[in-house]
Amino acid sequence: MTIENISCNKSFGGWHKQYTHRSEVNRCTMRFAIYLPPQCSNGTKVPVVYWLSGLTCSDENFMQKAGAQRVAAELGVAIVAPDTSPRGDDVADDDNYDLGKGAGFYVNATQSPWTTHYHMYDYVVKELPAIIEENFPVSDKRAIAGHSMGGHGALSIALKNPGMFASASAFSPITNPVNCPWGQKAFTAYLGDDKSAWEAHDTVCLINASKAHTPMLVDQGLDDNFLAEQLKPEALQHAAEANQYPLTLRQHEGYDHSYYFIASFIDDHLRFHAGHF
């Protein structure tokens, strides 16, 4: 598949690059960013952390705000950040921020008008890793992480694909989307009224049904204004305890839902993943 480089910036001895390409699964032009640590300069293949961003975000939010490049360069880890949804004039959208463009929820839509383009699950699990491993000096060692909607995507995708990712982590994830307004709205639109289809993308439901254990780290700010209604970390903790799932859940006084929170603890997440490669 042909990819086009649209930006390139040196950072901590490595390179942050953006690319566009025609996505077969989303039937539109997609953009992703990749940070290649300095170890790649001599052809060394490095492991990859896939980062999934939250509502309203693109590939740029994490790469520009999280400050992850310094430790990624130290550890010799690449970071790949896809967009959060399909884009383009012919791609279905909604007037609200929590549906449509910027709000793909990392599922394959089965309902009109979304099903034409919204196949973010296949994009993250199949198409994007194939592109990355074909075009860049990376190994087949992978981890996955994300924030908010992207935290939902990272944890649920890791659970649905045991063995694909060595570890998974999240900041402020939507842990139980079948039981929160964001998830119920998106899943109804993208997947229809069949609740079993919803549960197949719900981290709490997946942990309750899981026989494979991918190590997980989750950080949650206790001053997050979405905490009680949308994120529900207590449901995640209960499911993990009930199923003896290897989850580390850390809750932090004073931190909110912003990238100030992510930047405060992103080093821990990268070191967590590096320890499982």
Cβ-proximal residues to 34 (8 Å cutoff; 6+ apart), any chain: 16, 17, 19, 78, 79, 80, 81, 132, 136
**Pick from 149, 148, 202, 145: which is nearest to 169 by CA?**
145
pLDDT of residue 8: 98
pLDDT of residue 184: 98
Q: Which residues are known catalytic residues? A: 148, 224, 257
Cβ-proximal residues to 69 (8 Å cutoff; 6+ apart), any chain: 11, 12, 14, 16, 35, 79
Express each pLDDT in 185-214 by its tens digit. Answer: 999 999 999 999 999 999 999 999 988 899
Kindly report the CATH number assigned to the domain that includes residue 221: 3.40.50.1820
The whole domain housing 121 covers 3-275
Q: Is 118 exposed, middle or buried (0-12, 13-18, 19+ CB in 10 A)?
A: buried
Evaluate the omega torsion of the peptide bond into residue 113 and state whether it is cis, within 30 degrees of 0: yes
On the question of pLDDT at 1 being above 80, the answer is no
Computed over every residue of the chain, the mean pLDDT equals: 97
Tally the C-alpha atoms within 13 A of residue 116's C-alpha that lie toward its C-beta.
10
Percent of the chain whose pLDDT exceeds 70: 100
On the question of pLDDT at 27 being above 90, the answer is yes
Tally the C-alpha atoms within 13 A of residue 56's C-alpha that lie toward its C-beta.
6
Instruction: Give the span between the Cα atoms of 274 and 100, in whole angstroms.
Output: 34
Express each pLDDT in 52-79 by its tens digit. Answer: 999 999 999 999 999 999 999 999 999 9
On the question of pLDDT at 263 being above 90, the answer is yes
What stretches of the chain adopt beta strand conformation (E)?
A: 3-11, 14-23, 28-36, 46-52, 78-82, 138-147, 168-171, 216-221, 247-252
Tell me how many domains the chain contains.
1
Cβ atoms of 72 and 79 closer than 8 Å: yes
pTM of the model: 0.97
